Amino acid sequence: MLFTIHSLAAIAATVILPRLASAAPTLVRNDSACRALPGDADWPQEEEWETLNRTVGGRLIRGVPLAEPSCYSTNVSATSEACGTVQREWESMAPFIADPVNVIAPYEQNNTCSPFLAANATATCKLGNMATYAINVSDAASAAAGVKFTHRHNLRLVVKNTGHDFLGRSSGRGALALWTHHLKDKTVVDYCSSLYTGPALRLGAGVQVRELSVFAGANGLRAVGGSCPTVGAASGLTQGGGHGPLSSAYGLGADNTLEFDVVTMDGQHRTVSPEQDADLYWALSGGGAGNWAVVLSVTVRAYRDGPIAAARFSFSREQVTPQVYWNAVEAWMKYVATLNAIPGFRSMVRVDRSGFSLDMATLPNASVGDMQTALAPFHNTLARLNISLSLNETALHPSYLAHSLITEAFRSIVDGSSAGDPLFVVMSNNVSHINHDNAVNPAWRSSLFLINMVLMSSEQAPWPKLQADLAEMNSWQDRLRLVTPGGGSYGSEATFDNQYWKSEYYGSVYYRLLQIKQRYDPGFVLWNQAAVGSDLYRLRDDGRLCTA
Ligand SMILES: Cc1cc2nc3c(=O)[nH]c(=O)nc-3n(C[C@H](O)[C@H](O)[C@H](O)COP(=O)(O)OP(=O)(O)OC[C@H]3O[C@@H](n4cnc5c(N)ncnc54)[C@H](O)[C@@H]3O)c2cc1C
């Protein structure tokens, strides 16, 4: 059938839900079915934290709300230049990426220390849902020390890398965070195994997408990463699936893993691969982020670099009637099936109130002529509809790095101008030809599109407005679900409260993953929202994680 939409992915870019008002810490005896929180009688004593700090070579860091030093401390004013800087940088993500505990997801922040509210006389600043302590992980020993400490003291453990996670999976109230952001080693490897022989890259868990592209490019190689330059290439992205401009050519990030260097929840340092702890390797390759082990590094396939044919075009909505505009959008959606048949072709399209924009089409190892031929039938359709293009460019980029840097620049311009409007990003999806067994949601293999729904909100929006935004986002998802039977969602760009999360984020691999979880982490030392097995536990209203 030409036009079968099998994919549904909801992106909760700024989906916000109030949760966990800060409770005043009173000394309570913790119910052992629950993880300890600060203020509990069994919360570790200061000396015990100090011992942990010595064990990890002074790398233990106390969590501080991001806005506290500049906006809430004594001797600082909410109207100071320093607090203004925090406000300006809040949206850029950079301060969150560089911080050991603070994460980007607004509902996880829950306005517990908002720089925008600091001038309000009743405003308070608390850590809220952010981890209480973090270990700046430098090696297996420091990660293992953290795992053992949480076991011993019945604490919640989370792994934080860049803090990008939409579902808030890299934070947790009262948690000890293992912060892997500074594991930046990158090595080119001549890999040889029963699975694969050829060039590969060994990437420390903290390597981000841009760093991966730059390093690979400098070595005449390319590898699958995401579209966003700051996402962690070797951690959350790969464990959750990982789509990017090269996914149609080489599969998802998870399809390209060869081995992981990890610390498991028994404190063991292991190298896992299809030959060693094969089931854990399988789960780490697409089975959901932050639920299996602490990843120190991953080794991924790399490919010889070469030219990339690129294209972008856009047309405004106002030049034709709404009916004609939507006919054009529909024509594109149908045409994606044709484009998906071209090996390596990937496109990313935005549809919003102002119009339609092909942000970038990617065709590796092809010419400008190949790209023009691929797009010509759709351009002919637009001509028949009397739609003229406001932008129409094709180019040959000499390498994947050049291609991704140009895409990145263009994307930041588009992002900067779309705030406030609902936005649908439609990516052609053609990863089915990658025949590699792993824990990736099988819906990836049979889908025509990946649709990201984005709703930007103001940081100063009151909770009722943010809740309304979340409700609206979920209602869009409900409507798309009805027309995509048998589809799924990308669990790393999703809402945390989707009642169909098991089937939509994991599909048929869910129960195999659950068995692996029970084998490698039977005590659920790692727990996060909408993760495999997470319904065996629940977050109480005071933020306490307990058995369900
Ligand atoms: C602006 C933006 C753009 C995005 N673009 C893309 C894209 O193009 N393609 C795509 O596929 N996804 C994309 N995503 C989604 C992204 O893949 C997920 O948010 C991913 O979980 C981020 O991983 P991280 O390690 O960077 O972030 P974190 O928030 O630090 O971690 C995310 C999850 O991974 C776990 N984790 C992190 N490090 C480790 C580790 N060392 N060991 C074990 N677990 C770990 C955490 O515990 C958490 O569960 C985007 C997200 C954002 C916010």
Averaged in consecutive runs of 10 residues, what is the pLDDT profile of the chain (548 residues)? 26 25 41 88 96 98 96 85 93 93 86 90 92 98 98 97 94 97 98 94 98 98 95 96 94 96 98 97 97 98 97 95 94 93 93 90 97 97 96 95 80 53 77 78 88 78 76 83 87 88 95 98 95 95 91
Residue with token string 């081995």: 259
pLDDT at 410: 61
DSSP 173: T
Dihedrals phi, psi of 546, to nearest 5 degrees:
-135, 165
User: 186-305 in CATH: which number?
Assistant: 3.30.465.10
Helices (H), 418-454: none
**How far from each other are the two terminal CA atoms of the chain, in whole angstroms?**
44
pLDDT at 416: 53
- Reported as half-sphere exposure (CB side, CA atoms, 13 A), residue 3 has a value of 7
> Taking the CB of residue 399, how many other CB atoms lie within 10 A of it?
19
Largest CA distance in the chain: 75
Residue 474 is inside which H or E element, if any? helix 463-482
Does ligand 1 come within 6 angstroms of the Cβ of 236?
yes
Q: Specify whether the CB–CB gap between 474 and 498 falls below 8 A.
A: yes
Q: Domain extents for the chain?
A: 3-7+307-497, 186-305
Residue nearest to atom 7 of ligand 1 (CA): 226
Instruction: For ligand 1, pick from 15, 91, 130, 170 the residue to mutate: most ligand atoms within 8 Å of CB.
Output: 170
Q: Specify whether the CB–CB gap between 494 and 14 falls below 8 A.
A: no
Q: Specify whether the CB–CB gap between 12 and 466 falls below 8 A.
A: no
Residue with token string 């490919």: 303
Does ligand 1 come within 6 angstroms of the Cβ of 106?
no
CATH topology of domain 3-7+307-497: Vanillyl-alcohol Oxidase; Chain A, domain 3 (3.40.462)
Residue nearest to atom 19 of ligand 1 (CA): 165
SS3 46: helix
Residue with token string 């100063």: 460
Nearest ligand 1 atom, CA 226: 8
Residues forming a β-bridge with 158:
177
DSSP string, 352-392: ETTEEEEEEEEEET--HHHHHHHHHHHHHHHHHTT---SEE
